[in-house]
Amino acid sequence: MVNTLPYLSYIPAHIVMGLAVLFFFIGRAIPGVRRLPASLVFLLVLAVCFIIEALGSGSNSVFFELVTIDSFSRLYNQIFFIVTAVVVIMMLYNDEIKSKINWEVFGLLSTICLGMMFMTAASNLLMAALAIELVSIPSYILVALNSKNPVSKEASLKYILFGSFAAGIMLYGMSLIFGVTGSLNFEVLWKGLGDYSVVNSPIYFLAILMTMAGMVFKIAAVPFHFWCPDAYQAAPTPVTAFLSTAPKVAGLALIIRFFSFHISLQGENLTLIISVLAMATMTLGNLAALKQTDIKRLLAYSSISHAGFLLMGIAVLNEAGRQAVFFYIPVYILMNLGAFMAVIYLSSGSNNFQISSYAGLIKKSPMIVVGFTVCLFSLAGIPPFAGFVAKFYLFKVIIEQQLYLLAVVAGINSVISLYYYVYVIKVMIIDSSDKPAEDNKIGVFPVAFVTLCAIPIVFFGVYWQPLLNWAEKVKLLM
């Protein structure tokens, strides 16, 4: 029903935009509106949008072919709504920004949501650039929300400068592509680049690589990852949790959609480019994480290396690779959200994010530490947790495509990554501390949350067919 008029099939986007307008403008202008509980309104509207997305079907190209709606964009939008809702709930339990949760924050989150929805549905380079900026600019502000931490503003400034730099390069690359092919539409531009003489020319590589700059920046892959550790460390923890999941997934979705229109002639070069990116990202993320003493920085580098693993799945440029990525993403989100919620709980008393301050916490908060341990082992890819199954599918698709060097590098990186995850576990469980117990003032909800994240991780680690069935429903252009 919602697809009878193609224009109306994008209702959820309209609703989210309406939310942004509400939070930014109307809330200030009309006195009565301000008395509504903002988080409740936000969550309710997100729920409505989720239901609308779930009811949709079919594939449409709307807005002068700038945007394509299909099951891919629908299911990813659902993920974004869930993650945003969860992050809002996390914010209510975190005193870094509890005082700052006012209407502007929800307005920013709505805008980011809108941007992410466009990123998964964009079928035109200009739309992609617009969507990336829609996500980036509010993120810059969200990072700076932490007024207690003086580093927060510095990190935000680094993020702004870096983001603008990456956006500039991306726009230049897009203009090069336009120059060569005469179009910004994904399908048309790959056909335009499909001539044999073009595929091996320097301008081709330059254009593709520069266009990727913006997307690579969004997923924090090498060489545009420098902003990531600082921003993650200095931002309020719920914002970090949000940044490490939702925009990263949106960036990956954009990359998947962008490259899915390639023609077979270009396949080999593109696989090479993305594989090299993947290898560099994984390796750098893991090696840098080995020496970290701050838990949020460690998780930042860990998310960089996971982006590298996901790029592996994209590098094979076929349906199986995309399926592997679709399988990995919900697992990744569960693991990350669980880990960050545990960090919020464990650091809430002291506001100290040094790993050494977590020593011996198994005695004071056993359930959270066990849940956190499950998330960490899953991030490392150890059976019987879901993270292993996700990595297994990635290994499977790259061996099917005979990318053996990539497989070996990924395997070695899995082992390296184990060390820093186990380091955190070791500090929590094996080390002991003489400090007196500090009361965590935030109650039982975070414990339930982390346990609710850990249980599916263990379940899907042993029986993952349901998740596989979901991943098979995510198809481009269907």
Partner 1 sequence: MSHILSWVVFIPLIGVPFLWLVSKEKAKWVALIAVIIDFLVALPLFINFDKALKGVTTVGEMQFVEKASWIPSLGIEYFIGVDGISITMILLTLIIGVMAALASWRIGIYQRGYFAMFLLLETAMLGVFVSLDLILFYLFWEVMLFPMYFLIGVWGGPRRIYAAIKFFLYTLLGSIGMLLAIIAIWYFAPGDSTFNMIELLQRVQAGGEFAGPAIFGFPFAKVVFIALFIGFAIKVPIFPFHTWLPDAHVEAPTAISVILAGVLLKMGTYGFLRINFPLFPEVFEWFRDFLIVLAVINIVYGALCALAQSDFKKMIAYSSVSHMGFVILGIGAATEQGINGAVLQMFNHGTITAMLFLLVGVVYDRAHHRQIAGFGGLASVTPVYATITSLAFMAAIGLPGLSGFISEFLILAGAFKVYQVATIVSGLGIIFGAAYMLWAYQRVFFGKINEKYKDLTDMNVVELASVVPLICIVIFLGIMPNAIISYFETSLNYLSSILMN
Q: How many whole angstroms separate alpha carbon 152 and alpha carbon 228?
A: 13
- Which tokens is 247 given? 């925009």
Phi, psi of 102 (to 5 degrees): -125, -175
Residues that bind partner 1 (CB under 8 A): 377, 382-384, 388, 392, 395-396, 399-400, 402, 404-405, 407-408, 411-412, 414-415, 418-419, 422, 426, 429-430, 463-465, 468
Residues in contact with 343: Cβ distance below 8 Å, sequence separation at least 6, in sequence order? 237, 295, 296, 299, 353, 372
Phi, psi of 124 (to 5 degrees): -145, 140
For the CB of residue 405, give the shortest distance to partner 1 in the complex, in Å: 8
CB of 368 closer than 8 Å to CB of 450? yes
CB of 437 closer than 8 Å to CB of 364? yes
Q: Which is nearer to partner 1, 127 or 362 (CB)?
A: 362
Residues in contact with 61: Cβ distance below 8 Å, sequence separation at least 6, in sequence order? 6, 67, 68, 69, 123
- Which tokens is 324 given? 């592997």
For the CB of residue 249, give the shortest distance to partner 1 in the complex, in Å: 23
Q: How many whole angstroms separate alpha carbon 161 and alpha carbon 165?
A: 6
C-alpha distances in Å from residue 392, one per residue of 172, 249, 276, 396: 38, 19, 20, 6
For the CB of residue 422, give the shortest distance to partner 1 in the complex, in Å: 6
Helix (H) or strand (E) holding 68, with range, is: strand 67-69
C-alpha distances in Å from residue 404, one per residue of 288, 357, 392, 395, 400: 24, 41, 15, 10, 9
DSSP letter assigned to residue 122: B
DSSP SS3 for 60: strand
Count CB-CB contacts under 10 A for residue 38.
20
The span from the first CA to the last CA of the chain, in angstroms, equals 17
Closest C-alpha among 361, 355, 311 to residue 332: 311
Can you count the helices (H) and strands (E) in the chain? Answer: 21, 2
Q: Which is nearer to partner 1, 213 or 471 (CB)?
A: 471
For the CB of residue 50, give the shortest distance to partner 1 in the complex, in Å: 27
Q: Which is nearer to partner 1, 345 or 377 (CB)?
A: 377
Phi, psi of 219 (to 5 degrees): -90, 5
Q: How many whole angstroms separate alpha carbon 175 and alpha carbon 170?
A: 9
For the CB of residue 286, give the shortest distance to partner 1 in the complex, in Å: 13
For the CB of residue 340, give the shortest distance to partner 1 in the complex, in Å: 22
DSSP SS3 for 218: helix
